[in-house]
């Protein structure tokens, strides 16, 4: 098991190098940070000084090599826009995004999984049909629209929940958390629902269709023929087999929650990494964008590792081959 994890981490290194290269290459050719930083009036000498200060006059591969060497040491450079170390900037914004994504993920799983199981087992009941109709809304409405609608109803018309920001946060060491204050928790509700709704309906529909598939299988028929109770059949046999394919997709989707919380963070002005990225893209703040993409790659690699480990826990067929 340990050697498996180690080999997975070793495999991740080329992946991260490639992601770093692509993101760095992409950003090296989008927009000119120098023009943006200097404003409208500048002399050629000022421009040359800034270019050489940022190292932009060096060949592309030298820039990339420097970026990698620095990045390995945890140094992602200085933000062009904010003139602060990128590492510190991201560390500051990370808790907000992680807390938002985590809440959305818990919400999506805690509601999506049971609803999927229910609609799979009782597929013809009126309630199941109702849930399925609503789930169509969830998968087809774009995230920003859901966010705006929620703001309209709960913040503007009913006035019960805040429409933007993170509320009060408490500092725990380097981690700022909104979980511990009432206003922080209230502020979390709408963004978490917005971010989690699509995942929730996706998980639900996925679990349902897998469940229907599994319930048609021979081993479920045989379990019925053995006289097992519906409870033992549905939860002892059907659910486990449903989870094997579901884990893969859910794992990737949850990675997507962290990576693509950009829209939700923008709609709710949530002070997380997504908002930082959007603001950085606007001014071609290359160090921030590169570091962000690298971090997301790390998150996905980490989640894939967890997914593989979960497989081992669920499916004995994989364990036997080790």
Partner 1 sequence: MALLEVDRLVVEFPGRRGTLRALDEISFSIEPGEVLGVVGESGAGKSLTGAAIIGLLEPPGRVASGQIRLEGTRIDRFTDAQMRPIRGRRIGAIFQDPLTTLDPLVSVGKQLVETMQTHLKLSDRDARARAVGWLEQVGIPAAAERVGAYPHQFSGGMRQRVVIALALCAEPKLVIADEPTTALDVSIQAQIIALLRRLTTDHGTSVMLVTHDMGVIAETADRVAVMYAGRIAEIGPVRDVVLHPSHPYTEGLMGSIPQLEHRVERLRQIDGAMPRLTAIPPGCAFNPRCGRVLERCRVDRPDLLARGTTLAACWNMVPMDDVT
Residues that bind partner 1 (CB under 8 A): 217-219, 221-229, 232, 236-237, 240-241, 244, 314-317, 320
**Minimum CB distance to partner 1 smaller for 114 or for 236:** 236
**Minimum CB distance to partner 1 smaller for 29 or for 231:** 231
Tokens 């609609």 -> residue: 119
Query: Cβ 113 to partner 1, closest distance in Å?
Result: 17
Query: Cβ 250 to partner 1, closest distance in Å?
Result: 18
Query: Cβ 301 to partner 1, closest distance in Å?
Result: 27
Residue 78: HSE in the Cβ half-sphere, 13 Å Cα cutoff:
7
The whole-angstrom separation of Cα 289 and Cα 85 is: 13
Query: Cβ 254 to partner 1, closest distance in Å?
Result: 23
48 CB contacts (<8 Å, ≥6 apart)? none
Of 152, 151, 157, 137, residue with least CA distance to 189: 151
**Minimum CB distance to partner 1 smaller for 260 or for 311:** 311
Query: Cβ 309 to partner 1, closest distance in Å?
Result: 16
**Minimum CB distance to partner 1 smaller for 8 or for 123:** 123
Let me know how long the chain is. 322
Plot region of 315 (φ>0 → left; ψ -120 to 50 → alpha; else → beta):
beta
CA 7 from centroid of its chain's CA atoms: 24
Query: Cβ 29 to partner 1, closest distance in Å?
Result: 50
Of 230, 285, 207, 292, residue with least CA distance to 258: 292
**Minimum CB distance to partner 1 smaller for 94 or for 243:** 243
The whole-angstrom separation of Cα 9 and Cα 302 is: 9
**Minimum CB distance to partner 1 smaller for 70 or for 315:** 315
């Amino acid at each position: 098991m340990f050697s498996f994890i180690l080999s997975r981490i070793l495999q991740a290194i080329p992946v991260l190098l490639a992601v770093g290269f692509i993101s760095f290459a992409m950003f090296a050719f989008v927009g000119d940070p120098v023009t943006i930083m200097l404003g409208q009036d500048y002399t050629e000498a000022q421009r040359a000084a800034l270019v050489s200060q940022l190292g932009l006059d060096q060949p592309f591969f030298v820039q990339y090599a420097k970026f990698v060497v620095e990045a390995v040491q945890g140094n992602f450079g200085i933000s062009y826009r904010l003139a602060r170390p990128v590492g510190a900037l991201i560390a500051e914004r990370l808790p907000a995004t992680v807390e938002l994504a985590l809440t959305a993920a818990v919400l999506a799983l805690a509601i999506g999984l049971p609803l999927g199981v229910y609609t799979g087992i009782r597929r013809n009941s009126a309630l199941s049909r109702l849930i399925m109709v609503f789930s169509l809304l969830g998968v087809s409405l774009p995230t920003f629209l859901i966010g705006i609608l929620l703001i309209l109803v709960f913040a503007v018309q009913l006035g019960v929940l805040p429409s933007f920001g993170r509320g009060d946060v408490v500092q725990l060491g380097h981690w700022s958390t909104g979980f511990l204050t009432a206003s922080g928790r209230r502020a979390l509700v709408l963004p978490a629902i917005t971010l989690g709704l699509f995942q929730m309906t996706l998980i639900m529909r996925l679990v349902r269709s897998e469940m229907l598939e599994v319930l048609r299988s021979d081993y479920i028929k045989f379990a019925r023929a053995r006289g097992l109770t519906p409870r033992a059949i549905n939860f002892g046999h059907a659910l486990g087999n449903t989870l094997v394919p579901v884990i893969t997709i859910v794992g990737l989707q949850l990675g997507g929650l962290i990576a693509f919380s950009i829209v939700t963070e923008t709609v709710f002005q949530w002070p997380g990494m997504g908002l930082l990225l959007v603001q950085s893209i606007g001014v071609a703040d290359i160090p921030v964008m590169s570091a962000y993409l690298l971090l997301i790659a790390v998150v996905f690699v980490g989640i894939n590792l967890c997914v593989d480990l979960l497989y081992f826990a669920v499916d004995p067929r994989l364990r036997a081959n080790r």
